[in-house]
Structure formats: C-alpha cells, structure tokens
Amino acid sequence: MADQYAGTDLGEQPPAPPPLPVLRWAEPPEGPVVVLLDQTRLPAEEVETVCTDVPALVRAIQTLAVRGAPLLGIAGAYGVALAAARGFDVDAAATQLAEARPTAVNLAHGVRRALDAHRAATDKGATPEEAATAALTEARRLHTEDAEASATMATAGLALLDELLPGGSHRVLTHCNTGALVSGGEGTAFAVVLAAHRAGRLRRLWVDETRPLMQGARLTAYEAARNGLPYTLLTDNAAGSLFAAGEVDAVLVGADRVTADGSVANKIGTYPLAVLAKYHHVPFIVVAPATTIDPRTPDGAATEIEHRPGSEVTQFTAPTPGATAGTGTAGGTPLAPLGTQAYNPAFDVTPPELVTALVTEAGVVSPVTRGGIEELCARSRQVTIS
C-alpha cells in the first residue's frame, strides 16, 4: 500500500505521557465530588467536569462525558459513594446510575458493588458516615482491580498476538476507544496495542473513526498520539478495503457485555469487522475484564442494545459543555435533511463463533464457548475473593 498510509509519523518518540486524569474522587471544603475528564470535549480540549451530585453524574454518563464499559462501572460505584457521602437517597441514586445506560453490564456491576458495601455496613450497625466510607472503599477497590486487570490483559493479549502472528510486528485494526479513557488503567484492547508498541512489535494501528460519535477519531487517535504510536485513521467504511489489501494482521476490540454463550455486545460496527476478519482469516480478538461478563444474560438476542438519538447521525454538534456530539442541541450542523429519521443503535452483537479469542484478566478463552465463559466466571470469582 502506498507509503502515504505508513502511519502518522510522530517523529522522535516522546517519553511515556503522564496518566490521564480520567476520573477521580475529591473532597474539597464544600463537600465530596467526582471529577471526570469530559470526553465530549476531546481531543480539542482537556476539560474536567465536577459532579457534586448523582444527577450530574448520570447526565455525564448519558452524554458520554464519561464512557466505556469498565470506567462506567467505576463511575457508578463512585456515584453510590457520592450519594452516601452527601446524604442523598442511596437506593434511588443506585437505580438512577444503573439505568443511565443499559448495555455495558459493568455499570450495573459497579453500582451493585458499592451499594452492597453500603448495605452491609449499615446492616452491621455502621453510622451513615461509616457506611459512606464503606461504599467509597469499595469504589476505590474496583478502581484498583480494573487497573490491575488492564495490566494483566495487556500482557496476555500481547502473548496471544505473538502466538497467532509469529515473527513479525503487527498491524492491528481497532474500533471505537478502549484505552485509558475507558479504564482504571491503560484500557482493554488498547492496552494490548500499547504493550505491543512498547515491545517494538506494533507496525501500525489502524483506527476506525467509529461513527456517529467518533470515539476512534476523537479518542483513540488522541491516546495513540499522546503515546507515540504509529497510527492511521480511517473511515469505518474503508475497513473492508484494508482487509482486501492484506493490511490487517489482527482486529482488537473491547466489549460492553459478554453473555453466557460468549456473544459480544460492543460498539456498533464491531460485528461487520468480525465477519470481515472471518472471511479474510484474520484473528478477531476481544479484550475485556471479567466485570464485562454477564452469565445472567443467556445470549446476544437477550442483550439490551442502547438506541441513541437519531440526531447523533443526522447532525454534527461541535463539542460544547455537556452536549453529546450530534445530539441536535442548538447549533447542530445538518448532515441530512431536517426531519430525517435515523437508525442509531450504539452497539451490535458478535456471535461467539466469529471471535477468535476472549482475553480477560482471569484467562484467555479460545474458542469462545459456554463452558469457557463458565470457567472464566468461576476463576474471576476466585480472583475477586483472593
């Protein structure tokens, strides 16, 4: 392929960048808050949003100011801690947080962990302050666990890439954003890409722009640039031609929910990549922490897929405080005639038979089967308990 696509040349490799302040708990004099990097403003601006109550955090989740399955779980847990610390109705807060977005099971999981910690403390006679502290401690534990899971998955994922693609440096295609912006650590699939880069085995990262909210163009390219990766952006509809040209060695994506049979719900546009990978005999690898596995949802058909406003498809909205790109708020630039109806599912489902391997911190499953999922769940409970 013509060398004009040889990857964004960043010249001298910059030193590893400081960690992104993606989400943190703070206790200023006026009371505890959850502070998050507003992802709707990236890459143009690095702006923090301070959430002083649960409705503000719910809005941040719904507008994707904070997003990405593992980080949604962490945000949900801190949201319960925030409600408890500020004397709000904790049960009502937990319901509002868990229902803010339906597909990423991590959100409900994180809310549940903090809520259970709060209830357990209360049941043991803890004061409201002590119960609030218990919820915060659990949120912090989940935050740390996710960072550790990210590092484990990065190592396991790179070992798998080296096993599947011996002897070379890898050309990886990824979809949406799965880096530090979705994680307590360096991410899921993107953490594997980072590990390959640091090991000198990333030849190129192909970055799907990921319509309509452009998580790839806005966020993955931002993380790739700040880490000095050789990356090339492409429109989603250009991916097929890359496979046809033999330019993709592996596909690495994240997940929002892995069901009991191994079906993978992930950003819309993932399923077509899995079909392309199958047709072109390219490994299709899903990287997700065990908190993304949901054994209670039997299969992909039972997975609730979030449908978002059609205006995200029919309009472009320049990043403004609290507005999701394309939400049709004042000032949106029409990309279609006004009144155009748009189909806008935020996720699709990839059946397990199209997944080469599922990489988690509890182990790698390949092929992806119901039994393999059950084994991961059993192992992750052991990991959690230990």
Ligand X SMILES: CSC[C@H]1O[C@H](OP(=O)(O)O)[C@H](O)[C@@H]1O
Exactly one of 22, 69, 139, 383 binds ligand X (CB under 6 A); which one? 69
Which range, of 4-12, 63-71, 136-144, 318-326, touches ligand X by CB under 6 A?
63-71
* Per-residue CA distances from 2 to 6, 69, 172, 247 (Å): 8, 36, 18, 11
Q: Residue 188, interface with ligand X (CB under 6 A)? A: yes
**Is residue 116 among the annotated active site residues?**
no
**Residue 215 binds ligand X (CB under 6 A):** yes
By CB under 6 A, tell whether 346 contacts ligand X: yes
User: Is 344 in a helix, a strand, or coil?
Assistant: coil
User: 200 by DSSP, 3-state: which?
Assistant: coil
What CA–CA distances, in Å, run from 95 to 55, 73, 136, 382? Answer: 11, 13, 17, 28
| Closer residue to ligand X (CB): 197 or 267 | 267
Question: Does the annotation list 267 as a binding residue?
Answer: yes
Nearer to ligand X, 105 or 117 (CB): 105
Are the beta carbons of 229 and 153 closer than 8 angstroms? Answer: no
Distance CA 17, CA 276 (A): 34
In the chain, how long is the greatest CA-to-CA distance? Answer: 69
Looking at the Cβ atoms of 89 and 304, the one nearer to ligand X is: 304
Single out the segment in contact with ligand X by CB under 6 A; choices: 107-115, 162-170, 252-260, 354-362.
Answer: 252-260
Q: How far is the CB of 101 from ligand X (least distance, A)?
A: 7
Kindly state whether residue 85 participates in binding ligand X, applying the rule CB under 6 A.
no
The token pair that represents 64 in the structure block: 């994707």
Candidate list 182, 221, 250, 285; residue touching ligand X; CB under 6 A: 182
The smaller minimum CB distance to ligand X, of residues 69 and 354, is found at: 69
Q: Which of 150, 220, 232, 266 is the binder for ligand X (CB under 6 A)?
A: 266
Orientation of helix 54-62 relative to helix 90-98, angle to 10°: 0
CA distances from 85 to 9, 28, 50, 130, 312 (A): 47, 13, 15, 9, 35
- Contact between 324 and ligand X by CB under 6 A: the answer reads no
Peptide bond into 212 cis (omega under 30): yes
Cβ burial of 58 (10 Å; 0-12, 13-18, 19+) is buried
Q: Is 237 annotated as a binding residue?
A: no
Is 124 assigned a ligand-binding role in the annotation?
no
The answer to whether 155 touches 195, Cβ cutoff 8 Å, is yes
The answer to whether 101 is annotated as binding is yes
Other CB atoms within 10 A of residue 299 CB: 15
Residue nearest to ligand X (CB): 254
- The residue (of 259 and 266) whose beta carbon lies closer to ligand X is 266
The verdict on 359 binding ligand X (CB under 6 A) reads no
**Which residues ranging from 158 to 177 are in contact with ligand X (CB under 6 A)?**
176
CB atoms within 10 A of CB 113: 23
**The one catalytic residue among 256, 261, 294, 348:** 256
* Contact with ligand X (CB under 6 A) among 49, 178, 291, 327: 178
Smallest separation (angstroms) from ligand X to the CB of 349: 12
Applying CB under 6 A, the site for ligand X has a residue count of 16
DSSP string, 120-179: HHHHTT--HHHHHHHHHHHHHHHHHHHHHHHHHHHHHHHHHHHHHSTTS-EEEEE-S--S
Q: Provide the annotated active-site residues.
A: 256
Query: Binding residues for ligand X, per CB under 6 A?
Result: 64, 67-70, 176, 178, 182, 188, 215, 253-254, 256, 266-267, 346
Binding-site annotation: residue ranges for substrate: 67-69, 101, 215, 266-267
